[in-house]
Structure 1
Amino acid sequence: MTSFPHPSTSESGPDEDPDRDDPNREEQAHAYCLRLLTARARTRAELEGRLTQRGYTEPVAQRVLDRLTEVGLVDDEDFAEQWVRSRHLYAGKGKRALADELRRKGVDAEVITTTLADIDAGAERDRAEQLVRDRLRRERLDDEPGSDLKVKRRLAGMLARRGYSQSMALDVVTVELASERERRRV
């Protein structure tokens, strides 16, 4: 009769979670997430990526993230609202740039659409006008032929890099440049 060795409890199969019975590993992951959240709010995807980089298994990461979500420390919708409000107000970002930033942070497309719906076209245009006005005040406006074209390109490029549509950027720059020239004549 052939005897087979009993399976060792230290060996784990390919489908088993080696960290399942190690509560210290989960607590370490939890503490790490809390440290990250102390610095700034983060999305679930960002935290999951950081845990993966640190070598935590997916089941451990999911349990920790579920726990943080349950107590309200991880909330992608709230994160998206705060991010959009802050980046639109302080960095002057347009809808397109904000959507790209949120996508890179792992926010769901539906949440992005809902969050960006709060920014109406009027508010976006007002912010673009303010950005152009602020930049024009520091701009040297020559009376040389073609100088307005250079200024328009530079300002439209600034708005485009911040996520504003080309048509809005050109319209805002044209109106604000004419207004600034009039202001300087007086």
Structure 2
Amino acid sequence: MAPRTRKQLAEKLAAKEVPAEIVVEVLDRFEEVGLVDDRAFAESFVHARRSGRGRRALAQELRRKGVDDETAADALEVVDHDSQAEAARELVRRKLRSTAGLERAVRERRLFGLLARRGFPTDVVLRVVREELDGQA
């Protein structure tokens, strides 16, 4: 089983109709012995997914999984502006091959959308797409 946050485990136990006081007791004990660690989960999650996502998307995913904002912010420190630009550049380069026969405006629109959906900052999206398209001209 993949690592889970405290919130995810609590939801699973609640779905199995485990009484709330038992859930709290069990999860507290799991935290004491290190079986549940939201900080370690967040760091691992960010490390595994940072190459294909921007900081904003990673933060949203962590929030959905029940990681508090402070813990998420600590884990996201490794995702700086330069690493986001490099990850965006890799995605754009892969997508450029499949859009080779299209007009520049269409390619820009598709690439902008791809990177925006992946949570990359607007300045990174604009710069990377234009640099990569200019480099192909």
The normalised TM-score by structure 2 is 0.95
Whether the 8 Å CA contact 1:141–1:148 is kept in 2: the answer is: no
Give the fraction of aligned pairs with identical amino acids, expressed as a percent. 42
Residue equivalent to 2:64: 104
Verify: 1:167 aligned to 2:123, yes or no: yes
Whether the 8 Å CA contact 1:80–1:115 is kept in 2: the answer is: yes
Compare CA radii of gyration and give the structure with the larger one: 1
Residue equivalent to 1:50: 12
Gaps of 5+ in 1: 1-38, 182-186
Q: What is the DSSP-based 3-state SS (H/G/I as helix, E as strand, rest coil) of the residue aligned with 1:117?
A: helix
Relative contact order, higher structure (CA 8 A, sep 6+): 2
Give the RMSD, CA atoms, in angstroms: 1.1
Residue equivalent to 2:78: 118
Verify: 1:177 aligned to 2:133, yes or no: yes
Q: What is the DSSP-based 3-state SS (H/G/I as helix, E as strand, rest coil) of the residue aligned with 2:50?
A: helix
Residue 60 of structure 1, aligned match among 19, 22, 27: 22
The normalised TM-score by structure 1 is 0.71
Larger fraction in helix: 2
* Count of aligned positions: 137
Gaps of 5+ in 2: none
Residue 81 of structure 1, aligned match among 35, 40, 43: 43
Verify: 1:71 aligned to 2:33, yes or no: yes
